[in-house]
Amino acid sequence: MIRLAIGTLRRHRGAYLGTFLAALLAVALLAGAGLLLFSVLTATPPADRFAAATAVVSGTRDVTLTTTREKHKKGKTKTKTERLSGAGTLPADLAPRLAALPGVARVVPDAAFPVELATTAGPVRGADVAPVIGHGWSSAALTPYRLRAGHEPAAGEAVVDSDLAARGGLTVGDEVRITTRTGVRTLRLAGVAAPTGRDALPAQGALFLADREVAAVSGLAGPTAVAVLAEPGADRAALLAAVRARVGGAPVLTGADRVRADLPGALPDYIGPISVFGFTIGITAFAAIFVLTGTVALGVRQRLRELALLRTIGATPRQLRRLLGAESLVLAAVAALPGLPLGVLVAHLVAARFRHLGVVPAQFTVRINPVVLLLAGFAGALVTLVAARFAGRRAVRVAPAQALVETVVAPRGGVAARAAVALIAAAGAVAVLAFVPLGGPFGMGMTFISSALLLCAVAAVGPLLVRLVSAVPGRLSAGTGAAGWLAAATTRVEVRRTAAVAVPLVLMFGINAPLLLNGELTARLAEDQQAARLAGADTLVTGAAGLPLDTAKRVATLPGVTGAAATVPTRVVLAQGGKPQDYAAQGLLRIGSDDVLDLAVEAGALSGDGTFAASADLAEAYGWRLGDEVPLWLADGEQVVLRLSALFTRYRGFGELALPATLVAAHDPRGLVSAVALRHSDGAVAERIGQHWPELRVVPTAAATRTDDGNQQGAWELLVVVSLGFTAIAVVNTFAISAAARRREFADLRLAGATARQVHRLVDREALITVLAGLALGVAVTSAVVVPFSLAQDGVFRLVVAPATYLVLLGGVAGLGLVAGALPVRLVLPRRGLPALGDR
Amino acid sequence: MRIHGAGGPVVELVDVVRRYAGGNGAPALAGVTVAFEAGTFSAVMGPSGSGKSTLLQCAAGLDRPDGGRVRLAGQELGTLREPKLTQARRRRVGFVFQSYNLMDSLSVWQNVLLPQRLAGTRPDRAWAREVLHRVGLAGRENDRPGQLSGGQRQRVALARALAGRPEVIFADEPTGALDLGAGREVLALLREAVDELRTAVVMVTHDPAAAAWADRVVFLADGRVVSELADPTVDTVAARMTAVTAA
């Protein structure tokens, strides 16, 4: 059977080219997305700052909740963890207690805290804008960092790594300015240090202070980790057991795990990208499977006659099924050969772009895993096989007698099954759109799922829908000359073929338009809300990297300022049903009589210490009422209980929660004010700020409405580019397959007296009708998704979210369809060529 | 109505040479001179590879000779280029092929009127109806080719050829895919077109029984006209065919 399959593949090289191309691209996309997801899931921190330590005792780095539920008389325990953005501290007396244990050579309390480093020339960061992390000098021994120049830092001095020194053009004796949550300090550079064999650790710059200055500069109550160095020849197991017994519940990390004791902000974040790559694989897998299924089905349908001929020479339906199966397996295997390397290339290209956008850490590398590649190839083969089986399930039962008849029509029927599939898919889409809160964090993902379901529904009953929506353009076309009349007739009669070509167009528009439009809508809403929040402010004061809360307070109390609001961005962990979940939040400090930050409070009032405000949506999701005492975890894992005092609605680009700024600054390791919004009575305030704090930027609020979601939007756009590219190729491919199979029909037309030009016009007109039908359905799918999404965001009914984007996409898809329809026939049928009689 | 003189040939080939790509082998047509008159039914016969289909295609303007001249209804085809060639063809020529060459997506009626629609002329519906009646397909106008038998389809093709009132009908193995009865019906209709409508018919066939319906049989071998036979019968054709093949 395999030999026969290879034989048929060889003989019909042209006919299989389209299916081969689709399989190749599908495998490449699956492999690419699979590798990216695999790489991010298995990514390890690039270097271990604790490499020289035997074991590291870590402060809190996550919120872990364990719930026990009674189920069938058996307790079922579930543990859910959410990572913190900051680091919890350990008791200050832990280090001396551990030092007393036998076998311990040395114990080093380690503090790690973000530092904004600047010279007179401007801010200095590490390679790939890596953050600068501050430590006490004793921590240098843990890596170890060794001095390359100068000496250990004394009070008022600092040592930086060689990389930072090079980037900042620093030499020993220079002055540097550091900003932490405790304030701004000017230090003298005492020395330059580096880990063995390199200038700096990847992903983090290091700045060392005198040990006794750490607490004052960092604002930390204790060490974030305590490292234990064993004596040479000590019994490690016994030592670890003793350490574990001494520290109580705190994690004691060894080997590759030690790195987890570092400051979360100092390690590349591979958790965020998981959802991005998860989404990527969702979209690509859907598009790849969708396109491949359609292409394979089209290919099988075009070979009905050949299948019927095989039936006449005695092939049983079972043999035909096996032939189709074997064929598709050979095809998928051959397609995987170039497809998998292409997938590796795709993964590298996407990763490079994502690194550039900052969606993934600069240290992210694509790891090539043979199992992932095999799985991608296997998935491609499976999809091809199933699609071929499905498309051929009726074809193989073609009556042998039909082979002798000129046209072989696939037995109709299966309408009920197709309608059922369409109904179920559409119902699923409606359910998702109706019952899942699209305004929440999963809104975009859910709208993608519903457009995917709707596209499945459209594909299932494609011929029926295409017949409906092409009726009007068909009728209009019929009145315009012989070619128009013929085009109307062929698109109507060959509605399955029309649908097969139209469905990729529907896919191309229906999957990309909602992604782009919804992305644009959320970005625009965030900008609008930002503008509305700041409508009452005159100017916005920002620093290159943020300003300490103290500085913000002094800015806010300058003469002439009538109102001020400072925001300290942070993350807060909330729990519901035993599942901790991380949210964006702001520490909010308001000073003065005028309200300059309008969060659109709809109930209660913003209040002081011991209280917090939440977005109305969040409060509803968690079932909070005003006055409730709510437990929440701050960035360093500290649990506090705050009273809900206000519900607000303008949370986009801000955060779901507003907490007292001093509380946030005390528990977020960075703890810096990102911006102070000011309202002032006299214009000299800006000048005064410039005099006092030359490093601060003062801008009119109107110019400062951009939010930080830029890289998220960039990631969306890249995803859309990938899926646009793939779906565009699918569109061209199906048009080409369809045209290639119509040589004979075109030749017949030429014999009936059509000039080549008339045939070209006919095909152009068919393409136009097909494109109109495809776009009509694409717009329908898009609207079905975009409208509920828009309603869920802010209750406004929007059909066309961004007219420019919409038109460009509409025009692009239409243009591509028309060109893809027009080109193949011109290649098959040259304008001056004679009617072909030869190849039949 | 016929523009060229009543007595002149409708199709005239003079010294027509046709080589095929590669060009090493013997030419498909090695200098063929032959004429077909209005109101005559001619059959072209010859062994496989003798060039009979090539002759038909060159005569009909579906293929370009490498040498010699072809005149179709008084028009020199060699000077015509596409799309003029197609326009000339659809005004003066009808085709009937072994494989029918109907449009599956059009009904019988639409197929019959298709050449006239493509020509942009006002379809002569009354004549089309008459022609469909003559081929015995009155009442099947709305059927699609897929719903018809092979013989019926070939009759639709014939009706389509006749509907344009061509001066010549080229038929390439028109009975090749048909059973005996259906083939006979098609041949009778071709004969009728010659006798009643004074259409010239040029038919390529390998079947002596089909050739016997013609007024004259031209025998080809190795790209040359090797023999002719007037008022053929099955027996004379078969005998001559055997002689030609043996030579």
Q: What is the DSSP string of A628-655?
A: -EEEEE-TTS-EEEEEEEEEES--TTT-
In angstroms, the CA A438 to CA A445 distance is 9
Residue from the list A481, A482, A756 with its beta carbon closest to the beta carbon of B83: A756
Asked if B119 and A753 come within 8 Å (Cβ–Cβ), the reply is: yes
Partners of residue B117 in chain A, C-beta under 8 Å: 482, 485-486
Task: Give the pLDDT score at A442.
Answer: 72
Q: What are phi and psi of A261, to 5 degrees?
A: -85, -5
Of residues B63, B86, B144, nearest to A753 (C-beta): B86
Is A834 within 8 Å of B63 when comparing Cβ atoms? yes
Domain boundaries along the sequence of chain A: 1-43+273-411, 56-266, 469-527+705-840, 535-703
Of the candidates A409, A412, A331, A346, the one whose C-alpha atom is nearest the C-alpha of residue A377 is A331
% of chain B beyond a pLDDT of 90: 40
Place of tokens 């038998």: B149
Quote ipTM for the complex. 0.87
Chain B environment of A839 (Cβ under 8 Å): none
Q: Residues B231, B217: contact at Cβ < 8 Å?
A: no
Give CA–CA dist A318/A203, Å, rounded. 60
Listed residue (A453, A424, A501, A543) closest to A772, CA to CA: A501
Residue in B100, B118, B153 closest to A753 by CB: B118
Residue B134's pLDDT band (cuts 50, 70, 90): confident
**Least CB–CB distance from B146: residue in A409, A482, A831:** A409
Contact B62 A835 (CB under 8 A): yes
Q: Chain A: which residues have CB within 8 Å of chain B?
A: 405-407, 409, 481-482, 485-486, 489-490, 493-494, 745, 747-758, 831-835, 837, 840
Instruction: Using CB atoms, pick whichever of B86, B101, B119 lies closest to residue A748.
Output: B101
Is residue A821 within 8 A of residue A763, CB to CB? The reply is yes
| pLDDT reported for residue B5 | 43
B227 shares contact with chain A (CB less than 8 Å):
no
Q: What are phi and psi of A78, to 5 degrees?
A: -120, 135
Cα(A633)–Cα(B137) distance, rounded to whole angstroms? Answer: 87
List all residues of chain B from 39 to 78 with a beta carbon under 8 Å from chain A. 57, 61-64
Give me the pLDDT at residue B1, please.
38
DSSP state of A745: H
Residues in chain A with CB shorter than 8 Å from the CB of B164 are: 753
Query: A107, A108, A110, A104: which is closest to A89 by C-alpha?
Result: A110
CA distance B43 to B214: 6
CA distance A320 to A394: 11
Domains of chain B, each with CATH number or no CATH? 38-61+86-246 (3.40.50.300)
- Is the pLDDT at B58 greater than 60, yes or no? yes
Across the interface, do A406 and B145 touch by the CB < 8 Å criterion? yes
Are the Cβ atoms of B87 and A748 closer than 8 angstroms? no
Task: Tell me the chain B residues in contact with residue A405 when contact means C-beta distances shorter than 8 Å.
Answer: 146
Ramachandran category for residue B53: left, alpha or beta (phi over 0 → left; psi -120 to 50 → alpha): alpha
Tens of pLDDT, residue by residue over B2-46, are 444 445 789 999 999 998 765 566 788 888 999 999 899 999 999
Between chains, do B103 and A752 touch, taking CB under 8 Å as contact? yes
Q: What is the pLDDT of residue A401?
A: 61
Is the confidence at residue B73, as pLDDT, over 90?
A: no
Count other C-beta atoms under 10 Å from residue A178's C-beta: 19
Q: Considering only CB atoms, which chain A residues are within 8 Å of B153?
A: 406
Closest residue to B117, CB basis, from A482, A494, A748: A482
For residue B236, the model assigns a pLDDT of 93
Q: Residues of B with CB below 8 A from A832's CB?
A: 81-82
Do the beta carbons of residue A308 and residue A403 sit within 8 Å?
Answer: yes
B18 contact A CB<8A: no
* Shortest alpha-carbon distance between residue B102 and chain A (Å): 7
Helix axes A415-435, A756-794, angle to 10 degrees: 30
pLDDT tens-digit map of B152-202: 999 999 999 999 889 999 999 888 888 888 889 889 999 998 999 899 999
DSSP annotation string for chain B = --SS-TTSEEEEEEEEEE--TT--S--SEEEEEEEEETT-EEEEE-STTSSHHHHHHHHTTSS--SEEEEEETTEEGGG--TTHHHHHHHHHEEEEETT----TTS-HHHHHHHHHHHHTPPP-HHHHHHHHHHTT-TT-TT--GGGS-HHHHHHHHHHHHHHT--SEEEEESTTTTS-HHHHHHHHHHHHHHHHHH--EEEEE-S-HHHHTTSSEEEEEETTEEEEEEES--HHHHHHHHHHHHH-
Mutate to test the interface with A, among B85, B105, B110, B154 (most CBs of A within 10 A): B105
Report d(CA A720, CA A774) in Å as an integer: 19
Chunked mean pLDDT (size 10), chain A, 840 residues: 63 72 89 90 81 88 81 73 86 87 88 91 84 92 90 92 91 92 92 90 90 90 90 85 85 86 80 79 84 83 73 77 85 91 91 82 85 92 86 69 52 73 91 80 81 90 89 85 87 86 91 87 85 84 85 87 89 88 90 84 87 90 90 91 92 89 90 88 81 82 56 73 86 84 84 87 92 94 91 84 89 93 84 60
Q: What is the pLDDT of residue A302?
A: 75
Residue B63's nearest CA partner among B72, B71, B54 is: B54
DSSP labels, B21-76? TT--S--SEEEEEEEEETT-EEEEE-STTSSHHHHHHHHTTSS--SEEEEEETTEE
Polymer length in residues for chain B: 247
* C-beta separation of A453 from A290 below 8 A: no
With CA atoms as reference, the chain A residue closest to B146 would be: A407
CA dihedral of A363, A366, A369, A374, whole degrees rounded to 10 = 160
What is the reported pLDDT for A403? 54
A5: distance to nearest CA of chain B, Å? Answer: 28
d(CA B190, CA A374): 64
Amino acid identity at A154:
A
A611-615 and A657-660 strand pairing:
antiparallel
**With contacts defined as CB-CB under 8 Å, which chain B residues touch A751?**
62, 95, 97, 101
pLDDT for A249: 81
Interchain contact, B86 vs A755, CB within 8 Å = yes
Asked if residue A144 has a cis previous peptide bond (ω within 30° of 0), the answer is yes
